[in-house]
Amino acid sequence: MAGATGLLPEAAGEELDAYLARWRQAAAGRDAVAETIAALARATAEIAALVRLGPLAGALGAAAGAANADGDIQKKLDVLANDAVLKALRACEAVAYFASEEEEEIQSLRAGGACAVAVDPLDGSSNIDANTSIGTIFSVYPASPDGATGSFFRPGSEQVAAGYAIYGPFSALVLTLGAGVDMFVLDPSGLYRRADAHMSIPRSTREYAINASNYRYWLEPVRDFIDDCIAGAEGPRAKDFNMRWLASLVGDTHRILSRGGVFLYPADKRPGYERGRLRLMYEAAPIAFLVEQAGGDATDGLTRILDKVPGALHERTPLVFGSSDKVARIVEHHADSSHARIRSPLFGKRGLFRA
């Protein structure tokens, strides 16, 4: 199975199927990946049609009566989205294995399939009733001769494709095949058409995304970084920042890919959050692959996300990603104690060696 060897020529408005056809013809060994992406696109278009109906499709944000395999309360749309993706991949001869947030175990789909697909079928499902952007995240690996374990429990750098669908004011598929990031918008006929080629994250930014309500639980490196941002033009960064937080990984990722920024979902002191909260295999790894392909960086605070190897299907991780200068600054806060603030009950100030 071959990865991409170069960016495709510009083709504004090109249908996704035509884009994949050109990509697969450019080098041998790409057929299985192209077929897998096409199947995922069909599933996300089906989910997008359901999302557009909103309450007319029933209580999509209502609890489905159970928790998923990782303990989160399932919404009706979580189940429907998982069913749509699984159905599409079962019909795809290229897919050997399927891993999902909504499944307790990895599913074997087809003997001899060349691809393994990990999916968060519906990211941000807590936002369904609020009509806020939600999405589907996916990751594609070469199927391993060692079976399901070898196919998924490997570094994220071994992904051959990754992406997400976002269901918002417009529905879009954001995709990397290993050589840049392209965006395809779902048109009214149900076809994805290329709308933005080679998305690029600005190196520097004045926006950050974090759930500030958890400030009291954060570890010192995260608090120090955010305090520097809050200090604004009078602080050590010497400029004002804006905070944005959607509580939707796909929504926050899309904003950062579109205009830059940094996203933080750190580990903290709450029970169950000590090792972060986002799932490494089917959330952090595919987002990190996209972000790096768009010129950004992704880390858990100290370690590059794409170097991490999951030890379990639903393993969690801290996640920081976005514009490279801000990610590097956050890593410095974690790695170098000279960046720590001196705190008192009344005020915090910089340490002697603070830059």
Which residue among the candidates 14, 46, 102, 207 is catalytic per the annotation? 102
Specify whether 142 is located in the same domain as 211: no
Which residue among the candidates 101, 292, 297, 300 is catalytic per the annotation? 101
Which residue among the candidates 78, 103, 252, 292 is catalytic per the annotation? 78
User: Considering its fold, how many domains does the chain have in total?
Assistant: 2
Residue 190 lies in a domain: yes
pLDDT of residue 7: 44
Active site residue 332: no
Specify whether 224 is located in the same domain as 116: no
Specify whether 164 is located in the same domain as 40: yes
Which residue among the candidates 15, 17, 70, 72 is catalytic per the annotation? 72
Which residue among the candidates 14, 123, 207, 224 is catalytic per the annotation? 123
44 to 51, 58, 305, 349: CA distances (angstroms): 10, 19, 25, 49
Which residue among the candidates 20, 60, 122, 249 is catalytic per the annotation? 122
CB atoms within 10 A of CB 68: 21
In CATH, what number is assigned to the domain containing residue 324? 3.40.190.80
Active site residue 103: no
pLDDT of residue 295: 97
The encoded tokens of residue 280 equal: 């490494």
Active site residue 78: yes
Predicted confidence pLDDT, tens digits, the chain (355 residues): 544 434 444 556 899 999 999 999 999 999 999 999 999 999 999 999 999 887 777 666 566 555 555 556 677 889 999 999 999 999 999 999 999 999 999 999 999 999 999 999 999 887 877 888 999 999 999 999 999 999 999 999 999 999 999 999 999 999 999 999 999 999 999 999 999 889 999 888 899 999 999 999 999 999 999 999 999 999 988 899 999 999 999 999 999 999 999 999 999 999 999 999 999 999 999 999 999 999 999 999 999 999 999 999 999 999 999 999 999 999 999 987 665 655 544 444 444 333 3
Specify whether 192 is located in the same domain as 215: no
Active site residue 234: no
Specify whether 39 is located in the same domain as 153: yes
The residue from 196, 227, 244 where one domain ends is 196
pLDDT of residue 205: 83
Active site residue 123: yes
Between CA 171 and CA 48 the distance in angstroms is: 7
Specify whether 46 is located in the same domain as 153: yes
Specify whether 188 is located in the same domain as 214: no
Residue 94 lies in a domain: yes
Active site residue 252: no
The residue from 146, 172, 196 where one domain ends is 196
Contact 190, 225 (CB under 8 A): no
Determine the Cα angle at 25 with ends 151 and 47, to 5°.
60
Q: Which domain holds residue 235?
A: 207-350
Active site residue 102: yes
The encoded tokens of residue 18 equal: 């035509």
Specify whether 246 is located in the same domain as 119: no
Specify whether 232 is located in the same domain as 283: yes
- In the three-class reduction of DSSP (H, G, I as helix; E, B as strand; rest coil), residue 144 is classed as strand
pLDDT of residue 126: 79
Residue 176 lies in a domain: yes
Residue 25 lies in a domain: yes
Between CA 175 and CA 4 the distance in angstroms is: 12
Residue 346 lies in a domain: yes
Residue 5 lies in a domain: no
Question: DSSP string of 222-288?
Answer: HHHHHHHHHHGGGSTT-S--EE---S-HHHHHHHHHHH--EEEE--BSSTT-BTBSEEIIIIIHHHH
Specify whether 176 is located in the same domain as 41: yes
pLDDT of residue 302: 95
Active site residue 31: no
pLDDT of residue 193: 97
The residue from 144, 169, 196 where one domain ends is 196
pLDDT of residue 250: 97
Residue 20 lies in a domain: yes
